[in-house]
Amino acid sequence: MSVMVAPATAIADKNMPDTEGHFGQYGGRYVPETLVYPLQQLEDEYARAQTDLEFQRELSYYLREFCGRPTPLYFAERLTRELGGAKIYLKREDLLHTGAHKINNAIGQILLAKRMGKTRIIAETGAGQHGVATATVSAMFGMKCVIYMGAVDCKRQELNVYRMKMLGAEVVPVQAGQKTLKEAVNEAMRDWVTNVRTTHYILGTAYGAHPYPVMVRNFHRIIGDEARRQILEKEERLPDLLIACVGGGSNAIGLFYPFLDDPTVRMLGVEAGGEGILPEKHAARFQGGSLGVLQGTRSYILQDEFGQIQQTHSVSAGLDYAAVGPEHAWLRDQGRVDYSYATDQKALEAFMRLARLEGIIPALESSHAVAAAIERAPSFSRDSLIIINLSGRGDKDVMQVAQKVGLHMPA
Amino acid sequence: MNRIEQRFSTLRAEGRKGLVIYIGAGDPNLEATHRLALEFDRVGVDVLELGVPFSDPLADGIVNQLAAQRGLESGTTPPRVLDTIAAIRRESQIPIVLYIYFNLLHRVGVAEFIQAAAKAGVDGLLVLDLPPEEADGYEGLMKAAELCAIWLVAPTTPEDRVAKIVRRATGFVYYVSREGVTGMQQTVSRSIGAMTDVIRRHTPIPIAVGFGISNADQARQVAESAEAIVVGSAVVNRIAEFGRSPELVAKVGGFVRELAEALKPR
């Protein structure tokens, strides 16, 4: 993690995307013709829902009563003391029902699916948190649910596979390619193209064809809206730095977006550095990637000289993905958000450290954000404030981490 | 006149239906692709649609996904596909369309790719995941290079959008006859005629219908409502079956000849 956080003076244009889903040169709608009209219908329905008070009321009701919002903004006292720098707050998305921020978007999208008269739900999942959230809301609303998940991810996030099955979803292990998140998205898109009249695709991150990136961001902005209000209540001032992990980038954009107009608030997105920035050993698109078009949108992707998508690696299934959400690419170009990475090793250390110091077991994805905070907090003064988005809890990772840290685990 | 336009004008003059055959380039290797192209020309194929293998072919069913995988494994890159087409051109004037995912153009630069394709002897591009809304630069470049930009119309495309798409069409309009990925099916969709009628209300350009046609009977049936039919997975399946066997070209050529025969006026 060597990228410096630049002083934040730039104000990014919050009026993005444009009407066709572009964030500057990023975003858009690069899909086979069969999906264009269904995406336009989704865009129109979403626009209607945004101004429909009844929809908004229903959404807030479920977010409050079913999901458990608002989530606390918790002062991590021992971590702060030990690092000896900035005061660290944790936005506790891990306390939401199903265990991660993903439910914010899943609830929003299933209410849209209901409005559109869809009866069948599909989704992709990497770590399984989006799959569990989708299976959960499908169960709630009595809809048939199919989740596509890479076969490698099924194995490393087994707990979540069982949870989805218990919730009544069919889990389809995807055997193509490297058998992780990217292949699960391909398979979900194939299903959607085939069953588009009856089926809504609850895409789980701020990625894909318009309107998904903007819609998913808006369903998650409640994270930042709450955090902003909470920090003003507790500290009577805005934070100096926000930190979140970035796979597709939904939890990060959810936290960042409501602070974009606050010039003193700096932001850091943390990608998966895997085993280091070498081809096929990481998933840090801003480190080793280049501009490309994949799975419906234009953004930074990991690809070879001919445009074939490269393999990725991360200890964290949720960050192990070859592309990053288009709005992140845009915010990076604007100099509004900085992006760094944490290696597998640093994430594992952060996982253990948060557990031991705060009694909170974070998801491996969120551990990347914690790792970045551990690195940076000491260089901040004691009166400065950092908010980490603790996007999910680590129950799903317990077996994997136990094996990985093995002998290194303190007795 | 571009070879595709030339061919469709000949077909119209002779009162024949066109046969478009899809195969994955480099499956099982580019040498086989070269030999298959020449054989297709000989047995009466009107347009060769050559799939450029991509790591993430999300519009393709399992048959064509596996073909792309075999293509990548045999070392097939876009420049090598173009080299093969240049070699085919020394022996054959069969019209050639590249079926390709946009990232492969985007990576080297859309302008550079189009120029290289035209130079190699490609006649048209069908970019799967590039709808007209994202294609402003692309269309001008295609026109300048005298390549046909082939556009897709799907069963989900409403009529006002059909009008918008076919206004841009050059060469032929590709009607995807069903919702779904590429692949074979038992029966062909009954709504084909209704949709080709819609398309015809907005353009005089020939229509090719594809996605799912797998035998001579289906070919004949679909050809009633279109100027051409596209057969892909059924051919690719036979390539997979014979692979590197010395019988490959004869067997696949034989199957394609049956399809060509089925389309002849009776």
Q: What is the 3-state secondary structure (H, E, C) of chain A?
A: CCCCCCCCCCCCCCCCCCCCCEECCEEEEECCHHHHHHHHHHHHHHHHHHCCHHHHHHHHHHHHHHHCCCCCEEECHHHHHHHCCCEEEEEEHHHCHHHECHHHHHHHHHHHHHHCCCCEEEEEECCCHHHHHHHHHHHHCCCEEEEEEEHHHHHHCHHHHHHHHHCCCEEEEECCCCCCHHHHHHHHHHHHHHHCCCEEECCCCCCCCCCHHHHHHHHHHHHHHHHHHHHHHHHCCCCCEEEEECCCCHHHHHHHHHHCCCCCCEEEEEEEEECCCCCCCCECHHHHCEEEEECEEEEEECECCCCCECCCCCCCCCCCCCECCHHHHHHHHCCCCEEEEEEHHHHHHHHHHHHHHHCCCECHHHHHHHHHHHHHHHHCCCCCEEEEEECEECHHHHHHHHHHHHHHCCC
Chain B within 8 Å of A54 (Cβ-Cβ)? Answer: no
Task: Please tell me if residue B54 touches chain A, with a CB cutoff of 8 Å.
Answer: yes
Q: What is the pLDDT of residue A363?
A: 98
The residues pairing with B121 across neighbouring beta strands, listed in sequence order, are none
Residue in chain B closest to A193 (alpha carbons) equals B180
Q: Given CA atoms A312, A148, A126, A226 in this order, what sign does their dihedral have? A: positive
Backbone phi and psi for residue A91, each to the nearest 5 degrees, phi listed first: -85, 115
B207-210/B173-176 β-pairing: parallel
A114 phi-psi bin (left φ>0, alpha ψ -120 to 50, beta other): alpha
Q: Which residues numbered 205-224 in A keep a CB inside 8 Å of some CB on B? A: none
Query: B257 CA to chain A: closest CA distance, Å?
Result: 30
User: How many CB pairs below 8 Å do chains A and B form together?
Assistant: 115
The residue of chain A with its CA nearest to that of B78 is A306
Instruction: Note which residues in 33-52 of chain A have CB less than 8 A from chain B.
Output: 33-38
* Distance between A304 CA and the closest CA of chain B, angstroms: 9
**Torsion, CA B54, CA B59, CA B63, CA B69, rounded to 10:** 10
Kindly list the residues from chain A whose CB atom is less than 8 angstroms away from the CB atom of residue B158: 37
Could A36 and B65 be called an inter-chain contact, meaning their C-beta atoms sit closer than 8 Å? no
Supply the ipTM of this predicted assembly.
0.95
**Given A93, A281, A391, A396, the catalytic residue:** A391
Q: Are A337 and A325 in contact (CB under 8 A)?
A: no
Q: Which of A124, A327, A365, A375 is catalytic?
A: A124
Which residue of chain A has the CA closest to B106? A292
Q: How far is A30 from chain B (nearest CA, A)?
A: 5
Distance from CA of B115 to the nearest CA of A (A): 16
State the fold for domain B3-262: TIM Barrel (3.20.20)
Tens place of pLDDT for every residue, chain A, 411 residues?
A: 334 444 444 455 667 899 999 999 999 999 999 999 999 999 999 999 999 999 999 999 999 999 999 999 999 999 999 999 999 999 999 999 999 999 999 999 999 999 999 999 999 999 999 999 999 999 999 999 999 999 999 999 999 999 999 999 999 999 999 999 999 999 999 999 999 999 999 999 999 999 999 999 999 999 999 999 999 999 999 999 999 999 999 999 999 999 999 999 999 999 999 999 999 999 999 999 999 999 999 999 999 999 999 999 999 999 999 999 999 999 999 999 999 999 999 999 999 999 999 999 999 999 999 999 999 999 999 999 999 999 999 999 999 999 988 845 555
Residue B185 touches partner A, C-beta closer than 8 Å: no
Query: Token pair 């199903």 is at which residue?
Result: A98
Rounded Cα–Cα distance for residues A381 and B99 (Å): 58
pLDDT of residue A388: 99
Q: B11 and B21 in contact (C-beta within 8 Å)?
A: no
Catalytic residues of B: 49, 60
Q: What is the pLDDT of residue A7?
A: 42
Range 1-40 of A in CB contact (< 8 A) with B: 20, 28-38
What's the rounded Cα separation, in Å, for the pair A31 and A408? 47
For tokens 């709504």, the residue is: B191
Other CB atoms within 10 A of residue B160 CB = 8
Torsion of CA B39, B40, B41, B43, to 10 degrees: 90
**B198 in A contact zone (CB under 8 Å):** no
Mutation for A interface: B54, B56, B98, most A CBs within 10 A: B56
- Indicate yes or no: CB of B78 within 8 angstroms of CB of A307: yes
Residues of B whose CB is below 8 A from A176: 65
Q: By the CB < 8 Å criterion, does B129 face chain A?
A: yes
Position A5 scores a pLDDT of: 44
| B28 in reach of chain A (CB within 8 A) | no
Nearest CA in chain A to B54: A308
The CA distance from B143 to the nearest CA of chain A, in Å, is 21
Among A161, A158, A208, A170, which Cα is nearest to A186's? Answer: A208
Amino acid at A275: E
Domain ranges within chain B, ordered by starting residue: 3-262
In angstroms, the Cα distances linking B247 to B4, B23, B35 are 30, 17, 12
**Nearest of A355, A377, A357 to residue A366 by alpha carbon:** A355
B157 touches chain A (CB under 8 A): yes
Give per-residue pLDDT as tens, B218-242. 999 999 999 999 999 999 999 999 9
Question: Catalytic: which of A87, A91, A102, A396?
Answer: A102
The mean pLDDT value for B39-46 works out to 98
Contact B59/A193, CB-based, under 8 Å?
A: yes
Quick check: B107 contacting A, CB < 8 Å? yes
Tell me, what's the pLDDT at A13?
61
How many residues belong to chain A? 411
For residue range B62-83, what is the model confidence (pLDDT) as tens digits? 999 999 999 999 999 999 999 9
Listed in sequence order, the residues at least 6 apart from B34 whose beta carbon sits closer than 8 Å to its beta carbon are B84, B87, B88
Nearest chain B Cα to A182, which residue?
Answer: B56
pTM of the model: 0.95
Within 8 A of B128 by CB-CB distance, chain A residues are 32
In the beta sheet, which residues pair with residue A74? Answer: A90
pLDDT given for residue A400 in this prediction: 92
A391 carries an active-site annotation: yes
Q: Is B59 on the interface with A (CB under 8 A)?
A: yes
Q: How many CB atoms lie within 10 A of CB A384?
A: 16
Q: Is A140 on the interface with B (CB under 8 A)?
A: no
Q: Which among B128, B134, B158 has CB closest to A37?
A: B158
Amino acid found at A109: Q
